[in-house]
Chains A and B, each alone.
Chain A
Amino acid sequence: MTAYEAHFRVWRGDVEGGGLKDFHVEVNEGEVVLDIVHRIQATQAPDLAVRWNCKAGKCGSCSAEINGRPRLLCMTRMSVFGRDETITITPLRAFPVVRDLVTDVSFNYEKAREVPAFVPPEGLGPGEYRMWQEDVGRPQEFRKCIECFLCQDTCHVVRDFEENKQAFAGPRFLMRVAELDMHPLDAAGEAGIDRKRTAQEEHGLGYCNITKCCTEVCPEGIKITDNALIPLKERAVDRKYDPLVWLGNKIRRRPS
């Protein structure tokens, strides 16, 4: 493949305003969109603000929207676009913009703090934990999360309704609740924390209408909706809506 010149439109500006600026940039074989952004920085706009770290899809820093779709800049290969195609890059549109492609993602860090942490079981010291692979497999899937916040960005609950940010933790942090609820040794229950209840009453599980955009954009391929959010909804049903489960629990109290 030979090098060619591509047409980019990159959003530049800050909270005061801004717009899409045109750039014509060289593209070489095997490059990803982040390479092109770096080339723009090095040759045309040295102060173009962009977040990035690992450039290997492992840290989740370079989240942006490419042709309207939330993606990682470092994992979007130029070969998926036609040579004549104009490629538009904007910052994440669910969060306040800081400058150019950089947004203020503090919403996510605030939500992270609202999920009660792992509660270590009483009476087990370091080195005494015994867990089985089949039990840790489920939460391990969620711990693959690189916190790129693309799911938070694409979720219409907060993307389209700023006011819901108060009540809704977003897919990432509902998944965190699910992860802890499935952790084989989490002792939240003994500490008086009902994660199923908090999911519903404090983290806004009910806002999720399982339209699966979080799963669609996840660069780690985590099945957020099927494996975390729906099971969490089902767990909420268990404690509130299902007569058979309620009856079963009444008859024989057996830890699951």
Chain B
Amino acid sequence: MATGTDPQARTTSGPDPAAHGVHAPSRAAVPARHLRTDRWWLAPAATAAGLFAFVVYSTWRAFSGADYYAEPYVSPFYSPCVAQNCVPMKGGANWEIFGAWWGLSPALLILIFPLGFRLTCYYYRKAYYRGFWASPPACAVPEPRAKYTGETRFPLILQNLHRYFFYFAVIVAGILTYDTVLGFRDESGRWGHMGLGTLVLLINIVLIWAYTLSCHSCRHIVGGRLKHFSRHPVRYRLWGWVSSLNARHMALAWASLVSVALADFYVYLVASGAFDDPRFF
């Protein structure tokens, strides 16, 4: 009915403690938690499945402590190898920093660094917050929890350590590069040779570098932190390059994750004797 009377002051019922988020009393009353009609669950599900598969594989390989060296190749999971119980690697990044008392797989000593790098990576954070934590599962799909503090307090405030892990990741990538160079030897250590394994390591290290350098922290350190690009032309150009890599950070994160697993798996196949490394020259 048409009415021109003055609107009355509205009476609001007391807040329902159970109602929060999109069901808070002030919001439009829509019973459904969300109204998305597309397959919004597909992306987080695929992400979770992919990450889970990698975790399973890498856990098995990291704890196995075997079949990670097949001269001249070393698995990226086990380099550098810093325990006495490491398989001797000719010329490799193989230092006995941890003595005989270390009985576990040597991979566990160094995997913490690439793992930490990826765990605190801005892309992976998005991926697992969405995929595992459902925080949020997808845009405009509500979170299942009652309280949220984000990365403001322990433990998630530690995500700010990404910068440290980036520095370590650069060192690790440097060592893996060295490993790849060593891959240009034959089984007896003579230089100037190449096999399929060399190629696998080469592809892996390129992707590792691309992923590492495309990192948001790297982008920031290289130039992002500047206020005036015009006063630092070289860093501005570097920042431009890193920025264009950074735009593909997600793709590189996945590509390098797969490549590192494949490189390890290749070394495993060769080391365990299941596969004979074809030599090119």
Contact = CB atoms under 8 A, between A and B. Distances in A.
Direct contact of A and B (CB under 8 A): yes
Interface of A: 11, 13, 15-20, 65, 67-70, 85, 88, 90-91, 93-97, 103-104, 132, 134-135, 154, 156-157, 159-162, 164, 181-182, 184, 204, 206-213, 216-217, 226, 230-231, 233-238, 240-245, 255-256
Interface in B136-152: 136, 139-143, 147-152
Contacts of B147: 161
B135 A209 contact: yes
B216 interface: yes
B160 A237 contact: yes
Contacts, number: 178
Given A160-B142, A236-B160, 6 more contacts: A17-B29, A67-B38, A164-B148, A204-B150, A226-B247, A231-B224
A32 B66 CA distance: 62
Contact of A204 (B38, B129, B152, B230): B152
A182 B157 CA distance: 24
A69 B21 contact: no
Interface of B: 10, 12, 20-22, 24-30, 34-38, 122, 125-126, 129-130, 135-136, 139-143, 147-153, 156-157, 160-164, 167, 216-217, 219-220, 224-230, 236, 246-247
Nearest to A66: B35
Which applies to chain A's interface (DSSP): helix, strand, loop or mixed? Answer: mixed
12 contacts: A67-B38, A68-B140, A68-B141, A69-B36, A69-B140, A90-B30, A157-B148, A160-B143, A184-B227, A211-B136, A234-B217, A242-B163
A159 B220 contact: no
A207 B226 contact: no
A88 B38 CA distance: 13
